[in-house]
Amino acid sequence: MPDLAIILPTLDERENIGPLVDRLHGALGGITWEAIFVDDNSPDGTADAARALASSDPRIRVIQRIGRRGLASAVIEGACATAAPYIAVMDADHQHDPALLPGMLELVRTGGADVAVASRFVDGGDPGGLADARRREGSAMANRLARRLTGVELSDPMSGYFLLETRHMRDVAPRLSGIGFKVLLDFLTASDRSLTVREVPLQFAPRRAGASKLDRAVAFEFLVGLYDRHLGRLIPTRFALFGTVGAVGVAVHMAILALVFLVMGSGFALGQAVATFGAMSFNFWLNNWLTYRDQRLVGPRAMLTGWLGFCLTCSVGAVANVAVASLLQANGIFWALAAVAGILIGAVWNYALSSRFVWGRF
């Protein structure tokens, strides 16, 4: 059994993984280890490339996830798929130096800390790879917020490079939100034990090949994280986002209707049709950007099929909405209540279908 499992979430990292495995070999002499690539069915064939590596090296393993996306959930699945007592989470793009692993493992193994975090912001660290000043500022703000949230003194809570005992991660796994990509933060807030965290300096390197998938809209991530922790059990986070977008969509609908019907003087039915179409398109765009930002559709083709699928989904939801509302109203329920019930049913329906067929990569 390996001592250490390195969990490597990947999305389009084909060019990076071979050289990374070489570097792991170089860095981990004397430690028995395995590397688990958790790949979300990357279009560039990262999973195939990882299997090719695995065919000549039993330490390499691959989890290929189909129809699912997200960094946090990838890490959780990786942690649940190993028997190694320790896991390290790192980027597959060479931004995280594998040479730090033996030191981090030693720190945790000898009881020096429950979690070893590679930090860009401690003495000896270097945030150099953070592309520009705006991202640096974003990181600094995120860190302040995170300290409030977790109560843990950390200079770099957004770090994606850390090592801990696997059982700790598995223990809290059922309580992790799995939304977004702040896995370390998610883990620290969800854990009910008080964990000691030690930081080691990381010189953050530029990504070796390929493009970054994350534009860390950190403020938004934190709001979502806060909501998820406190109200997420009541109304699931993603559904709440979907509903909020829907409410904004109603405003868009009314604005378009007012413009076409009142200002331009069209017939009401035409105005309503144009407004419905406009609001659906707007909702698709906003949901893609907000609700499903961790599994966003990008590129003209994916956007076009996604948009068509969303409009189709919403039409089905609209039929359910009208059917339920008229049934209730005909049975003597006050018209406004019947309408609200119809809207709710339509929303749940739209959410269920679109999360599966539009953003679920089916």
Q: Phi and psi (nearest 5°) for 69? A: -145, 160
CB 75 → ligand GDP: shortest distance, Å? 8
214 makes contact, choosing from ligand GDP, Mg ion, none, with CB < 5 to 8 Å by partner type, with ligand GDP
- For the bound state, the minimum distance from the C-beta of residue 8 to ligand GDP, rounded and expressed in Å, comes to 6
> How far is Cα 352 from Cα 268, in angstroms, rounded to an integer?
31
Neighbours of 125 (CB within 10 A): 19
Residue 138 near which of ligand GDP, Mg ion, none (CB within 5-8 Å, type-dependent): none
Measured CA distances, 85 to 1, 81, 166, 257 (Å): 9, 11, 5, 60
> Closest separation between CB of residue 200 and ligand GDP, Å?
18
Q: Does 95 bind Mg ion (CB under 5 A)?
A: yes
Binding footprint of Mg ion, residue count (CB under 5 A): 3
Nearest Cα neighbor of 11 from 168, 211, 183 is 211
Q: How far is the CB of 128 from ligand GDP (least distance, A)?
A: 13
Residue 91 touching Mg ion (CB under 5 A)? yes
Judged by CB, which is closer to Mg ion: 39, or 93? 93
Residue appearing with tokens 């950390």: 154
Q: At what angle do helices 237-257 and 218-230 cross, to 10 degrees?
A: 120
- The per-residue DSSP string of 272-313 comes to HHHHHHHHHHHHHHHIIIIITGGG---SHHHHHHHHHHHHHH
Amino acid at 28: L
Pick the closer one to Mg ion by CB: 11 or 60. 11
Which option in Mg ion, ligand GDP, none does residue 38 bind, with CB closer than 5 to 8 A by kind? ligand GDP
Q: Which does 361 bind (CB under 5 to 8 A by kind): ligand GDP, Mg ion, none?
A: none
**Contacts with ligand GDP, residue ranges (CB under 6 A):** 9-11, 13, 38-40, 69-71, 74, 91-93, 95, 160, 207, 212-214
Which of ligand GDP, Mg ion, none does residue 278 bind to, with CB < 5 to 8 Å depending on kind? none
Among 93, 186, 221, 294, the residue binding Mg ion under the rule CB under 5 A is 93
Please tell me the distance from the alpha carbon of residue 47 to that of residue 53, in angstroms, as a whole number: 10
Residues lying near Mg ion in the complex (CB under 5 A) are found at 91, 93, 95
